[in-house]
Structure 1
Amino acid sequence: MERHYGMDWLRVGAFALLILYHIGMVFVPWNYHVKAPALVHWAVVPMLAVNAWRLSLLFLVSGFASRALLMRSKGLGDFTRNRSFRLLVPLLAGMMIVVPPQPWVELLTKHGYDGSYWHFWFADYFRFRELAGLALPTWNHLWFVFYLWAYTMVLTLAVALLRASWLQRVYDRVFGTVLVLALPLAWLVAVHALWFPMVGETHAFIGDDIAHVSYFPVFLFGFGLAGSPAAMRAIRRWGWLGAILALSGYAFIAWCEIHWPHGMAHWAVRPYLVAHAVQQWGAIVALIATADRFWNRNHPMRATLTEAVFPFYIVHQTIIVVAMWLLLGRGLNGGTQFAILVAATVAGCWAFYLIGREIRPLRPLVGLRLHRPKRPGATLAVR
């Protein structure tokens, strides 16, 4: 299949937004591993501009890229082995090495823990039970990697058992029309407003029903989209309407947050959830249409950036949490703290990627192939 550069750029942009979003989590009054001394309540409104669709978009582009890798694989067995190695190895390494500073800082700043990091790592982190309400060990932000692996395994089983060519024809016929906008939107409205109203994700995998019914279908949608020019044409055709729906949904959400900063009126809860779903799928359709229309072109930096985003994802949250902990008590204002966090996170992520890619034994641990690509353009965005 022909490479879609626009989806590469969309994936890079989605991960960049995710990093900024997690930096923002330090400053808003939502639960996070470490918090700034002075919270910025108004920042909730711009955060909500991406809250609804950021993770769904990542699962969709991951499904899209998985189709490309499957078509390049020697068979389902090769595909399964490759995906398991590329996802589970960095997940396990991340849980053992990258993630532990996060719960340690959280215990220090929120629960009065007084042990050193090394005492925590050797004595408490691998306890396999809770400490001050935190389940240890943990995957924290790396939950996405395990979910992606699990969804990929289910997909592989489905491809092995079902008539994929027939399913693709059905996909093309259904999603090659305005239903590409309407049908997933109806599903997400049912998920958020009818089946799981005001239910939060747990990221524990078992029992995380709202996450699975939200993310697994969009992962499958992305897998089908990679082989469906008809659906891509429909998305491009209806992208303008997706943008209008996304802006309308966000406008209502922002109005609710501004109008009721300390608790929403009961009557507004259901419309708020519908607006969340409308914003979620409308933004995704609009962004894919934009990527297909304007971004489907190569650039010398594309291969490096598409390779770097997974190592960036693995390490970014630990850098944010530790850097913010180091800034506590230094009397800096919020703007200065934010600027330092952005600079430290970008610099730390680049260092993690550049060092990891040059040392062969480290490459799988930081989320890269064991062997470097023969040429820059060979790098495939397949997280």
Structure 2
Amino acid sequence: MKIERRYDIDWLRVIAIAFLLIYHIAIVFQPWAMLIGFIRSDEISTAIWQPMTMLNVWRIPILFYVSGMGVYFALRKRNNIELLKERAKRILLPFLFGIVAITPLHMFMFQDYYSMGLSYYPHMGHLWFLGNIFIYVLIGFPVFYGIQKGVFSKFIAFSKQLFSNPLGLLSVNAFFVAEVLVLQPKPFAMYAQTWHGFAIGLLAFFFGFLFMKTGKVFWNTVKRWKWLFLGLAAILYTVRYVLFGAEGPLYLTSIESNSWIFSIFGFCHQYLNKPSKILSYLSKAAYPVYIIHMIVLYLAAKFILLLNLPALIAFVLITLITFIGCYLLYEFLIRRIPILRPLFGLNWKVDIKKRSETIVVNKA
């Protein structure tokens, strides 16, 4: 059986990680950057942060949605035990490697920049969500097993009916609203190593899997009603920003978050569900780049901030250096050295030669 490749979901992963890099760079120019261990610019910029107030309510949840979708695809050619082994190699190994070898490095740079005493301790840093995803896979085992045995067939049939219209799809917000009303996160976008981040991630992971299980129903709905979801998200964001200074009522922010995500799913499904050589490269590079990007970001910030440039120019330069530096590290080290590849979520096999041969054959 030929398994369909969903290129729009690959693009979603790439785009979400690219936005996360930009978001992290923007933190450098905020007054509270040092409080969460970021190097901070002396020149603060509210202009840089304004678009981030829209981005920050969906930047992490969308990754958990995509992760749940990824498990659906993985289970089409694996059983539960094979899934566990595959996720341990792709997620758990890079996570464990990262907390002892990656995250302490950018903390060393932070300590050095502020002339602090250097101290080492393993910590999750920006890789916290990898640990969450692996736990979600373990929690989901009974559900995956039940689905394979047909235990939840009536529930899936009900879901297909529910998600066939926009109001039914928006009804999933009830779970997300309940989550924030119970946990009361302050602010909403405080995901890292919090119960709110764990709970909203688990919900997004579960629904991402369920959306895929409904077949084309979910995708047809978000594609058809993408402008409705976009309009709802824009209205809720405007209310949040104008009336509440970017931190509005939690229940409205939850609905806004999913509205952005559903609209993004719809636009990506309509316009990006097609193969390309660029996507083939970026889909493999995105995960390793995210793992290493904080080191490159801190290095770039250390040198650019010494130039005392206007905040916007410094932001652009740090962004360029971060993306270029991550590309160089991925292309010439991580991708080409077999022993490094599994530590960054890649398989052992270096496929550069094979890819080159394929290109030559295709040209011939």
Corresponding position of 1:380: none
| Same amino acid, percent of matched pairs | 26
Distance between the aligned counterparts of 1:55 and 1:301, measured in 2? 24
Q: Which structure 2 residues correspond to residues 231-246 of structure 1 after superposition, within 5 A?
A: 231-246=218-233
Residue 12 (structure 1) aligned with residue 1 (structure 2) = no
Corresponding position of 1:209: 195
Distance between the aligned counterparts of 1:2 and 1:297, measured in 2? 11
Gaps of 5+ in 2: 357-364
Distance between the aligned counterparts of 1:164 and 1:194, measured in 2? 27
Higher mean alpha-carbon deviation, 310-319 vs 29-38, is at 29-38
Corresponding position of 2:360: none
Higher mean alpha-carbon deviation, 18-27 vs 159-168, is at 159-168
Gaps of 5+ in 1: 115-119, 126-135, 377-383
What is the one-letter code of the residue matched to 1:369? N
> Cα deviation per residue 1:317-371 (whole Å; 9 max; x = unaligned)?
1211222123343322223321221121111211222121111111101221122
Question: Do the aligned partners of 2:8 and 2:274 also contact (CA within 8 Å) in 1?
Answer: yes
CA displacement at 1:191 relative to structure 2 = 2.9
Distance between the aligned counterparts of 1:316 and 1:20, measured in 2? 10
Match of 2:85 among 49, 63, 81: 81
Task: Give the TM-score normalised by the residue count of structure 1.
Answer: 0.82
> Cα deviation per residue 1:149-168 (whole Å; 9 max; x = unaligned)?
11122123431256254443
**Aligned-pair Cα RMSD in Å:** 2.4
Match of 2:255 among 278, 282, 287: 278
Distance change (3 Å), C-alpha of 1:99 and 1:334:
same
Distance change (3 Å), C-alpha of 1:365 and 1:273:
same
Corresponding position of 1:128: none
> Cα deviation per residue 1:212-250 (whole Å; 9 max; x = unaligned)?
221111111111222321122222233222111110111
What is the one-letter code of the residue matched to 2:233? A
**Counterpart secondary structure, 2:71:** helix
Match of 1:186 among 174, 180, 188: 174
CA displacement at 1:80 relative to structure 2 = 0.6
What is the one-letter code of the residue matched to 2:4? E
Question: Do the aligned partners of 1:6 and 1:296 also contact (CA within 8 Å) in 2?
Answer: yes
**Counterpart secondary structure, 1:329:** helix
What is the one-letter code of the residue matched to 2:171? L
Higher mean alpha-carbon deviation, 52-61 vs 151-160, is at 151-160
Task: Give the TM-score normalised by the residue count of structure 2.
Answer: 0.86
Question: Do the aligned partners of 1:353 and 1:366 also contact (CA within 8 Å) in 2?
Answer: no
Q: Which structure 2 residues correspond to residues 15-164 of structure 1 after superposition, within 5 A?
A: 15-31=17-33, 32=36, 33-73=38-78, 75-109=79-113, 112-114=115-117, 120=118, 124-125=119-120, 136-161=121-146, 163-164=151-152
Question: Do the aligned partners of 2:185 and 2:196 also contact (CA within 8 Å) in 1?
Answer: no
Corresponding position of 2:335: 357
Distance between the aligned counterparts of 1:28 and 1:256, measured in 2? 22
Question: Do the aligned partners of 2:226 and 2:263 also contact (CA within 8 Å) in 1?
Answer: yes
